[in-house]
Each structure stands twice: as structure tokens, then as C-alpha cells.
Amino acid sequence: MFWQNVNFENRLESARLLWFCYLAAMLGWTIFFGDIAHVKMLANQPWMSSHREVLKWLSDNMMYGFYAFFLGMLIWGFKSQDKQMRIIGWGYLLTQAIGSIFIVRILKIMMGHARPDHLTQASYGVLDVWAGPSLSSAFNSFPSGHTCDYLTSCLFLAICLPKVWMRVLVILLAVFNGALRVILVKHFPLDVFGGVLIGGLAVLGVWQYWILPKLNET
């Protein structure tokens, strides 16, 4: 199998580099083009208007393929008595629970960052962009949960893949989704940066300190 009898340390290193490049790109986007005017400008492009529904569907639904893949890996690991497959499957679920569910949800509620589509529909001033603790979805923009979810899935899969070009392709899929969250006026670049940061730290942490030790025991 493509995840057996391999040096995961090398794969982890290349995945870490790809994650860092994505993170650096989002930091640059946040610093230089992170305001509401930039987000509105992207959303109002003619090509965006004509493909909005398709892009929204992709952004909302691509993640389910990853869920099915890793859940299938876990189930097949039990059926085939493949311990390594079960470790990776459980590791994926653990990572999603830590990053996309626990950390992201708490930060969303505590930070109270307004979504850009909410700001474009109401007359809010600069001080209202950060509302503080809030349960309202309109103020749960930071960090981007979709971005964290996709980055977690793509980075996890990248570590399992044998070729560098394959890892680059799946990370580019995560980048594509992160850009969509901004273009669809669902998040600021800062929100995407937060999702990339949290997702990457969760993936690399679980792989380094939970998955690799268990794989080395097999």
C-alpha cells in the first residue's frame, strides 16, 4: 500500500514545506489586500457572477469526498486487520476534532469577527468588524472553518501520497478552496490565514506526536 513501508518523516517534511508556502501566501494577501474593498472587488468580477453557484457548490461540498475517503480507510482497516490504516484513519478524525471542531469553533465564538457578506449588506463601521464574543453566524468569520477543514484533509492526504507532484496538487486544491472563501464573500483573507494556521498545526502535531510513534510500533 502507498502508506506502508515508507519514510513518513520525508513526506512530513515536504508537506510541512507546502503548508508553510500556503501560509506565507495567505499572510501576504492579508497584509496587502485584506480589506473589505478588495473582497468586494473580487466578488464583483463578471466571471465570478456567472459562475457563483458552481463555485459555491464546490466550496461547500468538495470536503465530503475527503470524509468518505478517510472514513473508508478506517472501516477497511478494521475489516482487513490493517493496523497502519486504522492509525491513519483515527488520526484524521482526531485532527479534525482538535482543529476544525474544537479550536476553530471556540475562536469563532470568542473573536466575533464579522463576515464580509454581512458587512456589505449593513452599514457597519470599522469598530463593528470585531464584535467580541458572539454566537451569531454573521460574526463567526475568524477563523475560516471551511479552510481549516480542507487544509486538514488535503495536508493529511498529501502525507499519504508517494509523489511530490501529487502532494502539490492536493495542496493546490486546498489553496483553491481558501481563495473561494474570499471570492464568495464568506471570509476575509485573515480568516483564511487563521484556518490554514490552525489546520496545519493540528495535522503536523498529530502526525508528529501521535501517528508516527504508533506507526513505528507496528
162-170 mean pLDDT: 93
Indicate if the pLDDT at residue 121 is higher than 80: no
DSSP string, 12-47: HHHHHHHHHHHHHHHHHHHHHH-SHHHHHHHHTSHH
Please give the share of the chain, as a percent, with pLDDT higher than 90.
74
Within a domain: residue 62?
yes
In terms of residue numbers, what domain contains 44?
A: 8-217
Residue 39, domain member (yes or no)? yes
What pLDDT is stored for residue 132 in this prediction? Answer: 85
Q: Poorest-confidence range of 36-50, 98-112, 194-208? A: 36-50
Q: For position 128, what pLDDT does the model report?
A: 58
**In which band, very low, low, confident or very high, does the pLDDT at 147 lie, cut at 50, 70 and 90?**
very high
This prediction's pTM:
0.93
Tell me the three state secondary structure of residue 113: strand
Mean pLDDT over each residue of the chain, to the nearest integer:
91
Q: How many domains does the chain have?
A: 1
Residue 126 confidence class, pLDDT cut points 50, 70, 90:
very low
- Which of helix, strand or coil describes residue 146? helix
Question: Quick check: is 181 in a domain?
Answer: yes
Specify the pLDDT at position 1.
Answer: 45
Structure confidence by residue, pLDDT tens digits, 53-84: 999 999 999 999 999 999 999 999 999 999 99
* Mean pLDDT (whole number) for 84-108: 96
Q: Which pLDDT belongs to residue 174?
A: 97
Do the domain assignments include residue 144?
Answer: yes
Distance CA 22, CA 43 (A): 22
Residues in Cβ contact with 72 at an 8 Å cutoff, skipping those fewer than 6 apart: none
Q: Kindly state the cell numbers that stand for 36.
A: 473589505
- Domain-embedded: residue 69: yes
Residue 42 neighbours by CB under 8 Å, 6+ apart: 48, 182, 183
Say which DSSP state 6 is in: S
Going from the C-alpha of 148 to that of each of 40, 144, 170, 191, the distances in angstroms are 23, 6, 14, 10
- Residue 3: inside a domain, yes or no? no
- Has residue 168 got a pLDDT over 80? yes
Q: pLDDT-based confidence at 127, cuts 50/70/90?
A: very low
Mean pLDDT of 22-32: 97
What is the reported pLDDT for 125?
Answer: 47
| Helix%, strand%, coil% for the chain, nearest 5 | 80, 0, 20
| pLDDT higher than threshold 50 for residue 31 | yes
> Is 140 within the bounds of a domain?
yes
2 domain-assigned: no
pLDDT for res 54: 94
What does the pLDDT read at residue 201?
97
